[in-house]
A and B are shown apart, each in its own frame.
Chain A
Amino acid sequence: MTKREFLMALNDALGPMTGDERSAAIKYYSDYIDDAGEDNLDAVLAELGSPQQVAASILEDAGINAAGTTKNVPPQARTEEKRNTPGGLPIWALVMIVLLLSPAWMPLLGVLVGVLGCVLGLLVALFAMTLALVIGGVVSIFAGLLAMTGNVLAGAMGVGIGCAMTGFGVFLTMLCVFLCRTVIPIIARGIVNFFRNLFHKKGERNA
């Protein structure tokens, strides 16, 4: 078996894991085989076992948390729980609490939804106005130029207004782009991290 075949088979056997976890494991063994040296490839592969065996040991350890094989040195230092819920309460207790508190959080949720709807409406209005200004401005410029053949002053006014609209529209376009590219991802990430911190211990980093 070549190194590449081994790593690809290992990747397949690690199917149940997340993409990040899998690529970390593949990287580890890729480095390992490289560091062992080209001449030792067969010996290393023989010692490691089949890709399926290697994957099985990784998956098994990922599933078990605090179970030890011997009681010689009990791992007291390990404190993580199998399922991370806020406050460590059983799930049914959490559901009960949420239901009982509903008269409190439901109106708040309503307000939140209302505010979000308002913000969304404003955003839609902003985009619509931007589009309208840019398109309308360009049309006005052309219409004004055409009108200048008949009535110079009126046509010139049309051109002038068109330029102002387009200019303002371009400025708003830049604002929209800024919003889409920076502000919205930051808000989205903030929300995701908030929920992630609720449900996970501090220890999960660099996964």
Chain B
Amino acid sequence: MAFTTGPGTMDAVVLSVVGKEAEGTYGYRITQDVRSVIEVSESTLYPVLRRLQKDACLETYDREFAGRNRRYYKITPDGRERLASYLTEWENYKVKLEQVFYGEMTQPETSATDSAGKESEQ
């Protein structure tokens, strides 16, 4: 895998997953959702959730379910702000990468075949 997931990306994914639910969601669900997109071990999530909570990007509340109290995580306004800035970063990064991968070469190619990837019209 060329593109590994650093802590920043994890934060963004978790914030996004939790932010999709207006009322918030719980740890097991969050883990399943995240693991459906990124390959991480199940024990990776808790440190991220804990850190985001310490940074006041997530808040927790308990709600009763099947006779026990289940802890839910919910995104805060600060969390939404941080997620928005992550998404902006991602957009810029994605555009730059795609320019390198798929964009036109500034120097003329000497060989007939284009080995640097397809050209695309932006």
Contacts and interface: CB of A to CB of B under 8 A. Distances in A.
Interface in A49-83: 49, 53-54, 57-58, 60-62, 67-78, 80
B71 interface: yes
Q: How large is the interface on A (under 10, 10 to 19, 20 to 34, 35 or more residues)?
A: 35 or more
A57 B42 CA distance: 11
A127 interface: no
A58 B7 contact: no
A25 B50 contact: yes
B74 to A, nearest CB: 11
B111 interface: no
A39 interface: no
Given A27-B71, A206-B53, A72 B4 contact: yes
Given A27-B71, A72-B6, A32 B27 contact: yes
Given A68-B7, A77-B85, A204 B54 contact: yes
Nearest to B11: A75
Given A28-B27, A203-B56, A206-B59, A76 B70 contact: no
Contacts of A204: 54, 56
Interface of A: 21, 24-25, 27-29, 31-32, 34-36, 44, 47-49, 53-54, 57-58, 60-62, 67-78, 80, 202-207
Given A75-B8, A206-B53, 15 more contacts: A21-B50, A28-B27, A32-B27, A32-B42, A35-B29, A49-B41, A54-B43, A70-B4, A70-B5, A72-B4, A72-B6, A73-B8, A75-B7, A78-B8, A204-B54
Interface of B: 3-9, 11-12, 26-29, 31, 41-44, 46-51, 53-56, 59-60, 68, 70-71, 82, 85-86, 89-90, 93
27 contacts: A24-B50, A29-B46, A31-B70, A32-B28, A34-B70, A35-B29, A49-B41, A53-B43, A57-B47, A58-B47, A61-B48, A62-B47, A62-B51, A67-B7, A68-B6, A70-B5, A72-B93, A73-B89, A75-B6, A75-B11, A76-B89, A77-B11, A78-B8, A78-B55, A204-B56, A205-B59, A207-B54
